[in-house]
Amino acid sequence: MIIDLKGTDMMLQDALLKASEYDTIILDSKTYYEKIEVSIPNLTIEGRDGSCIAFDATNQAIIPALMGGDGIKTFGTTGSATFRVLEGANGFICKNVKFLNYFKRTFGDHGQAVAFKSEISDLYMENCSFISMQDTLYIDYGTNNKIVNCYIEGDIDFIFGSADCYFINCEIKAINSFKNAYFTAPDTYEYNKIGFVFDNCRFIASAGVHAKLGRAWYPSGARVTVNPLLTVRNSQFIGDVDPTLIQMHVGDPERHICRLDNCLLNGSLIK
């Protein structure tokens, strides 16, 4: 079934209540100010020019009463996500949609603000944008995930998670930050084989930003079960970029592996 929202006042959440496995939802050319969770396997969401899903939340923000909050509990990192694909909803496909967490950092505020989180295998995203600051794109769990022809923007650890995932023909931009920027923070599960693989991508540090390729993440409680893996091939680093994967914390294990193959730093081949 195709559920087309063009010219309607239907929210995406309402469309999801009508949808079943293998259905397609087509968004209108507008911004949907919603916080979305998808639990339907093999669902497809397609956007038109201008289709955007947006919300404003950080890990430290208190959950409002309208969303079941008690005035004390905060969203947490996962809960801050504008859009979340839940475990079990394998095979999710999305094309031509912007995912935005429009939290804006102020000096001294280090809130994590996820725009998109996936907890599945067989994710396929094409011609999408993921925009936030810290922790923009959270690819957690799963294998055979693909992010194709997409734009990803943030400042701190803004592509992170434990999944195996291919990033193909993507533009990845580190924006102005009060700290150094870090493009990635993989915490690859030990039973996954590839971690994050970037092929034919462009890593860009915006003016005034010093960006490192990433920080290996060993979450507390999982330090012995993760082996962060990162591969970049046939790609370009543009601006003030250090294409290395470093430890996130002093005393972390040193099992992480970073491979660069046929990559350019400001036009020069990295040897």
Residues assigned a catalytic role: 135, 157
The β-bridge relationship of strands 264-265 and 268-269 is antiparallel
Q: Is residue 199 helix, strand or coil?
A: strand
Residues 6+ apart with CB under 8 A from 14: none
Q: Is residue 101 helix, strand or coil?
A: strand
Q: Is the Cα torsion angle 114, 178, 173, 139 positive or negative in sign?
A: negative
What is the spatial distance between Cα 139 and Cα 185, in angstroms, rounded to a whole number? 10
Structure tokens, 140: 């957690």
Q: Do residues 119 and 143 touch, judged by C-beta distance below 8 A?
A: no
**How many C-alpha atoms does 30 have within 13 Å on its Cβ side?**
12
Structure tokens, 107: 């000096």
Q: Is residue 84 helix, strand or coil?
A: strand
Residue type (1 letter), 161: G
Q: How many residues are listed for the chain in this entry?
A: 271
